[in-house]
Amino acid sequence: MKDEAFPIEDAEAGVSAPKSTNGRAEQVAQTMVLAVLFAVPALMCAHAACVIDPDIWWHLRTGEWILAHHAVPRVDLYSAELAGRSWLAYSWGFELAVAKLFDWLGLAGIATYTSAMILAITVALFHMVRRLQGDFSLAVLLTFAACFSMGHLYTPRPWLFTILFFILEMDILMHARRTGRVRELLWLPVIFALWANVHIEFVDGLLVLGLAWVEAEAARWWSAAETRVRPAWMRAMLAASVLATLANPFGWRIYSTAYDLATQGGALNKVSELQAIPFRGAVDFTVLVLALGSAAALAWRRRFVLFETALLAFAAVLAFRSQRDVWVMAAVGAMILASTIAGSEKAATRLPKLGGAAAALAAVLIVTAGFGAMRVNDAQLETQLAKNLPVDAVKAMRAKGYPGPLYNDYTWGGYLIWALRMPVSIDGRQNLYGDQRIDRSVATWNAEPDWATDAQLMKAGVVIGPVKAPLNQVLRMDSRFQLVYEDKVAAVFVARR
Section 232-253 average pLDDT:
96
pLDDT band at 241 (very low <50, low <70, confident <90, very high): very high
pLDDT at 260: 84
pLDDT at 423: 94
Together in a domain, 159 and 300: yes
pLDDT at 265: 67
Checking if the pLDDT of 344 tops 90, the result is no
Together in a domain, 422 and 359: no
CA distances (Å), origin 309, targets 56, 126, 145, 169, 334: 35, 22, 21, 17, 14
Asked whether residue 201 is assigned to any structural domain, the reply reads: yes
Q: Which of 224-233, 286-295, 419-428 is least confident? A: 224-233
pLDDT at 8: 35
Checking if the pLDDT of 191 tops 70, the result is yes
Question: Could you write out the DSSP letters of every residue in 96-126?
Answer: HHHHHHHHHHTHHHHHHHHHHHHHHHHHHHH
pLDDT band at 57 (very low <50, low <70, confident <90, very high): very high
pLDDT at 4: 42
Together in a domain, 470 and 330: no
Checking if the pLDDT of 9 tops 70, the result is no
* Average pLDDT taken over every residue of the chain: 89
pLDDT at 27: 84
Q: Which residues pair with 342 in a beta bridge?
A: none
Asked whether residue 380 is assigned to any structural domain, the reply reads: no
Sheet holding 490-495, edge to edge: 406-407, 462-466, 490-495, 481-486
Helix pair 107-132, 326-340: axis angle to 10 deg: 30
Q: How far is CA 273 from the centre of its chain?
A: 11
pLDDT at 5: 42
Q: How many domains does the chain have?
A: 2
Checking if the pLDDT of 185 tops 50, the result is yes
pLDDT band at 14 (very low <50, low <70, confident <90, very high): very low
Together in a domain, 344 and 487: no
Together in a domain, 329 and 430: no
Together in a domain, 393 and 368: no
pLDDT at 16: 42
Domain stops at, among 337, 372, 407: 372
The answer to whether 318 and 333 are in contact (CB under 8 A) is: no
Together in a domain, 302 and 434: no
Checking if the pLDDT of 266 tops 80, the result is no
CA distances (Å), origin 292, targets 208, 336, 339: 20, 11, 15
Together in a domain, 169 and 274: yes
pLDDT greater at residue 390 or residue 1: 390
pLDDT at 151: 86
3: Cα within 13 Å, side-chain hemisphere: 0
CA distance 235 to 239: 6
Dihedral class, residue 251 (left if φ above 0, else alpha if ψ from -120 to 50, else beta):
left
Asked whether residue 144 is assigned to any structural domain, the reply reads: yes
pLDDT at 62: 96
Asked whether residue 253 is assigned to any structural domain, the reply reads: yes
pLDDT at 48: 62
pLDDT at 267: 61
Q: Which of 212-226, 343-357, 408-422 is least confident? A: 343-357
Asked whether residue 5 is assigned to any structural domain, the reply reads: no
Asked whether residue 57 is assigned to any structural domain, the reply reads: no
By residue range, what is the domain housing residue 332? 11-47+88-372
Together in a domain, 203 and 282: yes
Together in a domain, 270 and 297: yes
Pick from 96, 103, 73, 94: nearest CA to 85: 73
Section 429-456 average pLDDT:
92
Asked whether residue 158 is assigned to any structural domain, the reply reads: yes
Domain stops at, among 316, 339, 372: 372
Together in a domain, 355 and 415: no
Together in a domain, 208 and 284: yes
pLDDT at 23: 73
pLDDT greater at residue 11 or residue 392: 392
